[in-house]
A and B are shown apart, each in its own frame.
Chain A
């Protein structure tokens, strides 16, 4: 690397650190307790605190809501190197994300890859400003694991599509403003070839939602119904009947996100909890069976994190790792389920508390229940194993 670039990079780090320290309010450097601490934006955007508002507005002005998108789309135009430094400095300070948005993490990358320039200029800046809360419409009541079997129809009516059907597992469907959907546009084509990718304003006549309650007692998920909804043809992304390409692209993103659950959330280490809660004998945990379980879990957990690092390093060195997203999703979520089983074991009867009057924000019993969904949502573990077997191992 030439020395001028090196100096610029060092300067960028110093400046970034100084700016963050000056501009990120103290309360925005505290760990997230649960989803209610997030700012989601949207038409009915509500900030939970003045600090949250200040933090979002300052980051927006700085161009750092989506620092790595081009400036014409509202991004910060940072180079990958600069973006890495910003991410590192934010995590060093413990800065919260200014906004949580499927627009940024899911739809944005798909639009950048597949949309027309006109669509990009329309939707991407809205996402950056937090004006639209996006949700995803993929699964249907009769197509979960068999996603490509989806039945929600979009009929060509000349200047609009007429959309009829329903989606399920729509995260925040009752709060979101727009939904990106997979719809069937050709009834006669083979199932993967009759699907299109469509953007729908949820204010449209005929769209309604109903929340789904999970075994954890709450849930961000909804069912979303479409009853003869008229959608302008300009809302089609990519080519007609080529939506499966976009779907696969996005599923890869989603798997990496869900697989990383154990990594990005505040993680409680089982052995630390055991040290706090359980009796010791001769310097060892008295329950020797539990001790083995903890040690075996942490062995895999630690090495899984090393594996994430290795695959990222390999990707940086030019080895494409897209097919490995199924491995991440499978292994990461299986580990997360095991983690909650262990935490529940270690916590004894204290961990069973359901109605928590103190509302400490971390209710183990509910989170335990929620973790059971991890190995199902975004493609079950079994689907991921199918993908590994077919695409990576090339089994017949």
Chain B
């Protein structure tokens, strides 16, 4: 398969760019923050639903567009460029993906239409500590009569504050993994909302004897461990596409600044020390583009090396995001560290998204493990 996007995917990307530039520019990001850290803009979200973005990865048999993850990645990249706040990542990329690869058809029939219409928003609760470690899960799902009782603590749950459902990863009586979908307002669930560095909403969740009917388990015959692995791989790849947008936009803002700003009577972009750094960033971004596309294709092609490509993508994009946003601030000089400039938003967003489902270190380590050293 050629490493290029199709005409249809290109059109989707252009449409996404158009909508975002007209409706959800970076000014929207700033004003949401200034209005008491609002989570997202309703009217933009409704337009995104109308454009079909919530249906891109839903299979045709459930009335989805079945457009695939390469298409979804194009939208996420464009969203990354303007730091668009919306439920798309938590509810569709994470949670619709979880349902998609679940073998519980009743849940799919129940939730896919509501996810596509935006009637339901779902958050995915995985992490329990300040670092990502899906091998060390202590939340328990114990079987009682026709229910599971969930007990434990989750943290760093994106958009749980406004999601009406949660998908929770827990350990079962047999020390296996299970994934359970539950209404956020079920008794025993306490959601503590936090505002993080990037102004987004993340939650700590306490699960205290939360009762879930057995039918609400996502993995019936398939292995819960395999399911969460797949969800995390795909989510990491989608996040990498979003990071690519963050990187490309901060690169372009920085290059433009180098062409405008004058010191010593010349444009600062004429200085070789800055030119070489810009050229190095350009080169790293060329690599980022390749691995994001390759990894997105690996999802759609059901490549057996999905975990490998997911870790290549997340590791490379985290590494480059760190480099790029730091260089962006430095090359902007004094203005770069003021709140008046937008460039600081990219630094903050990058640092948060780097941490979601494993940072550079986590995925570099995983790559070594996959290769057996």
Residues of A near any B CB (own CB < 8 A): 271, 274-275, 280, 283-285, 291-292, 294-296, 298-300, 302-304, 306-307, 309-311, 313-314, 316-317, 324, 327, 330-331, 382, 384-386, 388-390, 392-396
Q: Which of B3, B267, B294, B373 contacts A285 (CB 8 A)?
A: B373
Cross-chain pair count, CB within 8 angstroms = 117
Alpha-carbon gap, A384 to B282, bound state (A): 12
Contact B365 A295 (CB under 8 A): yes
Contact B3 A280 (CB under 8 A): no
Q: Which of A298, A306, A316, A324 contacts B291 (CB 8 A)?
A: A306
- Contacts A275-B373, A386-B272, A389-B276; is A291 near B290 (CB within 8 Å)? no
Contact A306 B276 (CB under 8 A): no
Q: Which of B2, B267, B276 contacts A313 (CB 8 A)?
A: B2
Among A271, A310, A313, A330, max chain B CB count under 10 A is at A310
The 8 A CB mask of B240-269 against A (1 = contact, 0 = none) is 000000000000000100110000001101
Chain A residue numbers with a CB within 8 Å of B278 are 389, 393, 395
Chain B residue numbers with a CB within 8 Å of A303 are 287, 290-291, 312, 316
B301 CB to nearest chain A CB (Å): 14
Q: Which of A307, A384, A395 contacts B287 (CB 8 A)?
A: A307
Between A and B, 16 residue pairs with Cβ closer than 8 Å are: A284-B369, A284-B373, A285-B368, A291-B368, A294-B368, A295-B364, A295-B368, A299-B319, A303-B316, A304-B287, A307-B286, A317-B4, A327-B282, A331-B286, A392-B279, A396-B267
Alpha-carbon gap, A304 to B283, bound state (A): 10
Residues of B near any A CB (own CB < 8 A): 2-4, 255, 258-259, 266-267, 269-270, 272, 274-276, 278-280, 282-283, 286-287, 289-291, 293-294, 312, 315-316, 319, 364-365, 367-369, 371-373
A275 CB to nearest chain B CB (Å): 6
Q: CB-nearest residue of chain B relative to A381?
A: B276
Contact B367 A295 (CB under 8 A): yes
Contact B282 A393 (CB under 8 A): yes
Chain B residue numbers with a CB within 8 Å of A331 are 283, 286-287
- Contacts A299-B316, A303-B287; is A317 near B371 (CB within 8 Å)? no
Contact A313 B3 (CB under 8 A): yes
Contact A271 B371 (CB under 8 A): yes
4 tightest A-B CB contacts, nearest first: A389-B275, A388-B279, A310-B3, A385-B279
Q: CB-nearest residue of chain A relative to B365?
A: A295
Alpha-carbon gap, A243 to B276, bound state (A): 28
Alpha-carbon gap, A386 to B276, bound state (A): 7
Alpha-carbon gap, A292 to B360, bound state (A): 11
Chain A residue numbers with a CB within 8 Å of B312 are 299, 302-303
- Contacts A306-B291, A310-B290; is A385 near B275 (CB within 8 Å)? yes
Chain A residue numbers with a CB within 8 Å of B275 are 385-386, 389-390, 393, 395
Chain A residue numbers with a CB within 8 Å of B286 are 307, 311, 324, 327, 331
Alpha-carbon gap, A300 to B286, bound state (A): 11
Contact B2 A271 (CB under 8 A): no
Alpha-carbon gap, A331 to B281, bound state (A): 11
Alpha-carbon gap, A386 to B275, bound state (A): 7
Contact A306 B3 (CB under 8 A): yes
Contact A274 B373 (CB under 8 A): yes
B129 CB to nearest chain A CB (Å): 21
Chain B residue numbers with a CB within 8 Å of A275 are 372-373
Q: CB-nearest residue of chain B relative to A334?
A: B283
- Contacts A291-B368, A396-B269; is A317 near B373 (CB within 8 Å)? no
A283-B372, A303-B316, A309-B3 are known; give 6 further A-B pairs, CB within 8 A: A295-B364, A299-B364, A306-B287, A385-B276, A388-B282, A395-B269
Chain A residue numbers with a CB within 8 Å of B280 are 385
Q: CB-nearest residue of chain B relative to A394?
A: B259
Contact A284 B368 (CB under 8 A): yes
Among A275, A331, A393, max chain B CB count under 10 A is at A393
